[in-house]
Amino acid sequence: MNKEELRIKQAAFEGNRQGFAKTHKALEKLRLKFIAKFSLDELRNMPVEKHALQKGKPESKDSFCYWIETALKELGNIKGSTAFKFGIYYGITNSDSTLKYRFTSKWGTSPEEAYQRIRQSIIELILAGESNDKDVIKKSLLSKMFKGKILSTYFPDK
């Protein structure tokens, strides 16, 4: 490669770099909006409706799980597996078309119990991320995909 070709590639790279910087700023602004919206104080009092994806309910697009999976998709894509990755959701399954809260049995025997345990696990995970408590992070019952997205969203530099 001669000097002229190198200069052309350098100019193209600089244009790309500027575009990446703008994208990064926009994503960081969105991430900070999420962190403010779902602070620890907010999470401690958050009802299940504000946490769970809810089939057919427009307000679901403002839920914690919607933000983690869809609104913040460019910060890490966790689409592709079922909503069970969140521990609880409102919807149907392939074998049951009844709209209701669905949860995995490791969280409890009722939607209320399951959600209380899931919410507490999210709070504990964030506190563990803040203090770098790897043992608590590893032992968390949250799905690895969900856990990783939460940690990388709240603590992108760790």
How high does pLDDT run on average in the chain?
90
Structure confidence at residue 4 (pLDDT): 79
Identity of the amino acid at 70:
T
Structure confidence at residue 20 (pLDDT): 56
Say yes or no to pLDDT of 17 above 60.
no
Say yes or no to pLDDT of 65 above 60.
yes
Q: How confident is the model at residue 2 (pLDDT cuts 50, 70, 90)?
A: confident
DSSP state of 67: I
Q: How confident is the model at residue 21 (pLDDT cuts 50, 70, 90)?
A: low
Structure confidence at residue 14 (pLDDT): 62
* Mean pLDDT of the region 14-36: 79
* C-alpha separations of 33 from 12, 22, 39, 99 in Å: 32, 17, 10, 31
Say yes or no to pLDDT of 6 above 80.
no
- The DSSP result for 68-80, as a single string, is IIIITGGG---TT
CB 125 within 8 A of CB 147: yes
Say yes or no to pLDDT of 58 above 90.
no
Cα angle 85, 55, 69 (rounded to 5 degrees) comes to 40
* Mean pLDDT of the region 66-75: 95
Q: Model pTM?
A: 0.85
Highest mean pLDDT among 14-18, 40-44, 49-53: 40-44
Spatial neighbors of 30 by CB under 8 A, at least 6 apart, are 71, 72, 75
Q: Which tokens hold the place of 18?
A: 């500027």
Q: Look at residue 50 and give its three-state secondary structure.
A: helix
